[in-house]
Homo-oligomer: A and B are copies of this chain.
Amino acid sequence: MAKICITNEEVLQRMPNLERTLTPDQRQKVLHGIRIQTYKKHERVYSEYERAHDLLFVISGKLKIFKDGTGGKQHIIRVVLPNNFLGYRAFFAQEDYRTSAEALETAEVAHISLSMLNDMMHVNAELACFFVTELAMHLGTAHERAASLTQKHIRGRLAEALLYLRDAYGLEEDGCTLSIYLSREDMANLSNMTTSNAIRTLSAFAQERIIAIDGRKIKLINIDALERESKFG
């Protein structure tokens, strides 16, 4: 078990967009309020219908946010990488969680009390504006993705998922390998298809030299083709 070797101070510095909105006083309170927790692979960070208490910030590792649908099939909303926030939407909407989150790999997550932040927000316009921007961006991608998932065909949805993973999580040094390795099942849940079809379609893309597959490692070979597929091919 790797022990936590990052200070609250360091964590706070990793969230400059939030940090810079705080008064010295508020900064102090937040600093001391940070609690870091480690989650093992597949461990739940929070579950649908629970009460939301904390703003979460991924320090290391990756999480997925999803909704469990009919027949155990889950709909992945997004994958959260280090230095990103999650877990605050439900609280601000004054609801319980409507999604669940779990670790895709061992992950360190910072917890900050949302009721504390909420109190600060009501007297700190910049802090509130930070969340406005954050929410507005996520709402945009949510609409975008809803339209794609419902209108595109399998190849288009998978192509889009691959491009999404590239945009959101980047490539390795070689400039074409996706930095994120997902299981075929998670790829399927992200693209709204069965696992079989994710496997099949990835194989098809590989045979067409659009991508290259080595286990969970995926190289994007022909970006143009992917983009064509994505806008309905």
Contact = CB atoms under 8 A, between A and B. Distances in A.
A224 interface: no
Nearest to A70: B232
A127 B149 CA distance: 34
Contacts of A93: 133, 136-137, 139-140
B125 A121 contact: yes
B135 A142 contact: no
B69 A147 contact: yes
Nearest to A66: B147
Interface string A169-199: 0000000000000000000000010000000
A117 B140 CA distance: 20
Nearest to A124: B125
B146 A146 contact: yes
A143 B232 contact: no
Interface string A155-176: 0000000000000000000000
Interface string A93-131: 111001100000000000000000000011111111101
Nearest to A93: B136
B89 A139 contact: yes
A7 interface: no
A138 interface: yes
A90 interface: yes
Contacts of A128: 121, 125, 128-129, 132
Nearest to A127: B125
Given A124-B125, A135-B135, 19 more contacts: A67-B143, A67-B147, A69-B147, A69-B150, A69-B151, A70-B152, A73-B151, A75-B147, A88-B136, A89-B136, A89-B139, A92-B135, A93-B136, A121-B129, A122-B126, A125-B127, A125-B128, A135-B139, A142-B146
17 contacts: A70-B152, A75-B147, A75-B150, A88-B136, A89-B139, A89-B140, A92-B133, A93-B139, A94-B133, A99-B143, A121-B125, A122-B126, A122-B129, A128-B129, A131-B132, A142-B143, A146-B149
